[in-house]
Chain A
C-alpha cells in the first residue's frame, strides 16, 4: 500500500473510508429491512412534537457513550452528573433540565 504524500491525498482516503462506511451501513439496513418487510403501505410520518426527557436522554447521551441505566445512580448523584455532563457536552439548559427530571424520576435509591 503506497504511503500518501500530501494532506490532500490523506483527505481523499479519509473521504473514501467515510463513503465506504456509509454505503455499507445503507446496504446492511436495506438488507435487514427487506428481510423484515411488511406488506403494509408506508406509514405516515408522525407530526413533530416536543421531545420528552427520556427522548432527549437517548438523543444526547448516546452520542458519546452507551446509555447509563437511570437506576445506576440515585437522585442526588444524577443532579451532580447532569451538571458535569451539561458542561462537558455543552448541553442546552432546557434540555439538560428535562433529562435530569427524567433521570430523577427513574433514579435508584
Chain B
C-alpha cells in the first residue's frame, strides 16, 4: 500500500513536470482546445486522486494510533498483573508467638541442715497472640516442680498421737504470672487490661531468669505486688532524635487485701496478713467483687537518656496506694526509686530503693523497706584472645531489707554469668547472708543455674 501511494505521488509530480514543460509550449505554439481540455481533465483527475490518497493516509494514521494505544494498554495491564503477582505476601492478621524462659537450679544452703541438690525446674512461657497491629494478648505462666507431702498420724487408745510428715513424690504448680490485653490507642497511649504487670520499679517487668543474671531475686520485691487485676494506661514520647525518651504509666487495680480480712499485722498463725496478690475480683463463692471498698491507684514516670550505644542512664519513680483490709480503713502504699546505668557494652549497674507502709490495728504503721544494687562486668572488655574468659560476666550485688515486723536481712552476693550463647546462660553465685528476727534466713547459700531465654 505504501509503495503504491508513493508511486502515485511520484506519478503526479511527473505529470506536473510534464505540464510545466507543456504549458510554455502552449504560449509559443498553438494548442487545440481538445488537447487543453484533455490535459485539464487529467490534472483534475490527478488532484482528486491525491486528495483520496491523503484521506487514505489519515485513515491509516488513525488506525495506527488506535493500534498503538491498544498495545500500550496491554503492556500496562501486563505490568500491573506482573507487579501484583510479584508483591510480597501480606502478613496474616492473627499471629501467635511464644517467648519466655526456662531455668534449672542447683543449690546448697548452709546452716540449716539441708543437703545440696537440684532445687528448681521452672518453665515460664509467654504466649503472644497479635490480633492486628494494635491489639495483642499476652499471658505468662510459671510451671514449677516441688516435692509432694506424705503424712500420717494416729492416736493410741491411751491418747498418745504419733505419725510422720515427710516430703514424698512431687507436685507441679502452674501459676499465671500475668495475662493482659494490650491495645495501642495511638502513638502516645496504650491500654493494658487484665492481670497487668505493675511498673513498680523495673524488676517485675524485666526480672525473668535470663534477664536477671543472678539466680534469685533481689530482696524487697516481696514488699511489692508483681501484678494486679485492673487496667493501665501507658506511653512514651521521644525527646529529640538521639534515642532519649520519657515514659509514663498510670494504673487502677483491685489492690492488696488481708489474709484474714482484718487489719492485723499478722494472722493467728503468725504469718503476714498483707496479701499483695490475692485480690483477683472473683470470690471463692464464684460471685464477683473487690474484697474491700475501693481499688488502688499508682503509676511510674521514667526518663531514659542514652548518649551513645550501650551508654545510657534510666531513672524512674513509681508508687501505689489504696486500702487493703476488708473494712477499708487502712492503706497500703509503696514508693520505688529505680535506676539503671550502662557505661559501655560491658558494664551495667542497676538498683532500686523500695519503701512501703501499711496501717494495722495492732502494730500501728508497719514500714517494710529494701534497697538493692547490682553490677555486672563483662570480661570481654579486656580483649583477651580467650573465648572462655570473653564469655564471662562477673556479677556483684548488695541488698538489704527490713520487713517492719522484726526481721532484717543484709546480703552480699558475688557471682558470674557464662554466656553459652546470647540466650543460654550458666550462672552461679555465693551469697553471704546476715539476718536477724523471727523470719531470719540461713547464713550462706550457693546457687548454680542454667537459664534459657526463648
Contact = CB atoms under 8 A, between A and B. Distances in A.
A90 B340 CA distance: 15
Interface in B409-454: 410, 412, 419, 422-423, 432, 434-436, 453
Interface stretch (B186-194, B261-269, B286-294): B186-194
A50 B241 contact: yes
Contact of B136 (A11, A14, A83, A90): A83
A58 B309 contact: yes
Contacts of B130: 79-80, 83
B105 interface: no
A92 to B, nearest CB: 4
A82 B314 CA distance: 20
B125 interface: no
Nearest to B202: A64
A19 to B, nearest CB: 10
B16 interface: no
B343 A22 contact: yes
B249 interface: yes
Interface in A8-60: 10-11, 13-14, 17-18, 21-22, 24-26, 28-29, 32, 36, 48-51, 55-56, 58-60
Nearest to A25: B347
Chain A interface size band reads 35 or more
A10 B345 CA distance: 29
Contacts of A36: 383
A60 B342 CA distance: 11
A10 B370 CA distance: 8
A68 B184 contact: no
A3 B242 contact: no
B81 interface: no
A93 B128 contact: no
Contacts of A83: 128, 130, 133, 136, 182, 184
Given A75-B91, A83-B133, A84-B99, A95 B344 contact: no
Interface string A69-86: 100010111011101101
Interface string B122-163: 000010101001001010000000000000000000000000
A36 B187 CA distance: 44
Contacts of A58: 309-310
Contacts of A81: 97, 99, 128
Nearest to A83: B136
A95 B245 contact: yes
B424 to A, nearest CB: 10
Contact of B310 (A62, A64, A68, A75): A62
A18 B341 CA distance: 10
Given A28-B377, A86-B184, A10 B410 contact: yes
Nearest to A58: B309
Contacts of B432: 1
Interface in B182-230: 182, 184, 186-188, 190, 192, 197, 199, 205-206, 210-211
B358 interface: no
A48 B373 CA distance: 32
B377 A25 contact: yes
A5 to B, nearest CB: 8
Candidate in A60, A79, A87 with the most chain B CB atoms within 10 angstroms: A87
B251 interface: no
A90 B235 contact: yes
A105 to B, nearest CB: 12
Contacts of B138: 84, 87
B351 A51 contact: no
Contacts of A59: 243, 306, 309-310, 312
B353 A11 contact: yes
Interface in B297-312: 302, 304, 306, 309-310, 312
A92 B128 contact: no
15 contacts: A4-B410, A10-B371, A13-B410, A17-B398, A21-B375, A22-B343, A25-B377, A65-B453, A66-B419, A81-B99, A84-B99, A86-B184, A87-B190, A87-B192, A95-B245
Given A68-B423, A93-B187, 7 more contacts: A3-B436, A7-B402, A49-B241, A62-B309, A63-B314, A90-B247, A93-B236
